[in-house]
């Protein structure tokens, strides 16, 4: 017996982006970009509780005004914009599989993105433009030929009892600049999370453990980061009708790790907690 036909979806738009810069470091300049973007997707139900979704999309992103024209202090150094940047365009392919089996619900995702003319932020303290009044480190912006990003994600939820559930999440991303095999910025490290959540009529609690892998293949403005684990917990109690008191705790094991992979990143906050009062109306 044949299953139901695929459920298609599609969308499109046209972008017109203009910029104007008056005075400053680069004088009077303007840009204008016109580009289409959109997506085409189809969902197929393979059995009663399982479906597969395929999507292809084309994207467009114009560099920000700061990327193009800003020159000055930024974070812990100097940012020097590039008025000659081209806009990024991309091809995006996504696959999603979702389903349920008894008390278990699963979702798996895979994707491939190809970005042409990727706008890359990089550091070069020896560049002649990195001179007074600029202060090192100096960061510049350039287009790269093409970047390719691949990733997989898995989400699972298990009902252990009527009120208690376990949740699992796994994510891995890889990326490279195609012409030289280097790693672009902002590729996150592999990550695994596990949560227990219990919800009762008058109270609830949640505990989440996360394991983040070390990362040595970093982008041009990033530094290698170590592996680390964190433990967060929250609880809430309804004290009167729609009035709820909530207690939150983060990094309960007081783990030391960088807040981001950026080379100038500070350490993430240590053990922290908060009490909140929430009202629904």
- Same domain for 148 and 193, yes or no, is no
CATH number, residue 106: 2.40.170.20
- Same domain for 207 and 167, yes or no, is no
The model's pLDDT over 90-139, given as tens digits with 9 standing for 90+, comes to 999 999 999 999 999 999 999 999 999 999 999 999 999 999 888 899 99
- Same domain for 1 and 93, yes or no, is yes
- Same domain for 107 and 9, yes or no, is yes
Instruction: Let me know if residue 182 belongs to a domain.
Output: no
Distance CA 80, CA 136 (A): 11
- Same domain for 168 and 196, yes or no, is no
Label residue 98 exposed, middle or buried (CB < 10 Å: 0-12, 13-18, 19+).
middle
> Which residues sit opposite 240 in a β-bridge?
243
Which residues constitute the domain of residue 24?
Answer: 1-177
Q: Does 177 or 132 have the greater pLDDT score?
A: 177
Instruction: Tell whether the model's pLDDT for residue 1 goes beyond 50.
Output: no
Instruction: Let me know if residue 219 belongs to a domain.
Output: yes
- Same domain for 18 and 130, yes or no, is yes
The model's pLDDT over 47-88, given as tens digits with 9 standing for 90+, comes to 889 999 999 999 999 999 999 999 999 877 899 999 999 999
- Same domain for 26 and 143, yes or no, is yes
- Same domain for 57 and 136, yes or no, is yes
> Which residues sit opposite 154 in a β-bridge?
108, 170
Domain final residue pick, 149, 177, 205: 177
Share of the chain above pLDDT 70, in %: 99
Distance CA 1, CA 216 (A): 51
């Amino acid at each position: 017996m044949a299953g139901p036909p695929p459920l298609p979806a599609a969308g499109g738009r046209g972008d017109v982006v203009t910029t104007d810069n008056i005075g400053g470091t680069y004088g009077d300049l303007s840009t204008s970009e016109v580009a289409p973007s959109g997506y085409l997707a189809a969902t197929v139900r393979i059995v009663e509780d399982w479906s597969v979704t395929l999507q292809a999309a084309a994207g467009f992103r114009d560099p920000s005004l700061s990327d193009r024209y800003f020159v000055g202090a930024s974070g812990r150094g100097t940012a020097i914009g590039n008025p000659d940047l081209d806009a990024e365009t991309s091809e995006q392919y996504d696959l999603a599989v979702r389903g349920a089996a008894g008390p278990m619900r699963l979702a798996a995702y895979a994707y491939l993105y190809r970005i042409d003319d990727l706008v890359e932020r990089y550091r070069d303290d020896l560049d002649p433009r990195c001179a007074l009044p600029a202060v090192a480190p100096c960061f510049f912006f350039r287009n790269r030929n093409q970047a390719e990003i691949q990733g997989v994600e898995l989400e699972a939820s298990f009902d252990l009892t009527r009120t208690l559930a376990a949740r699992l999440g796994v994510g891995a991303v890889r990326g490279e600049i195609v012409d030289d095999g280097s790693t672009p910025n902002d590729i996150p490290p592999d990550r695994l999370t596990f949560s227990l959540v219990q919800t009762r009529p008058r109270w609830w609690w949640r505990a989440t453990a996360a394991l983040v892998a070390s990362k040595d293949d970093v982008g041009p403005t990033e530094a290698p980061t170590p592996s680390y684990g964190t433990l967060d917990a929250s609880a809430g109690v309804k004290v009167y009708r729609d009035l709820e008191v909530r207690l939150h705790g983060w990094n309960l094991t007081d783990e030391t790790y960088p807040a981001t992979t950026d080379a100038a990143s500070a350490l993430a906050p240590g053990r922290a907690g908060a009490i909140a009062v929430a009202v629904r109306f």
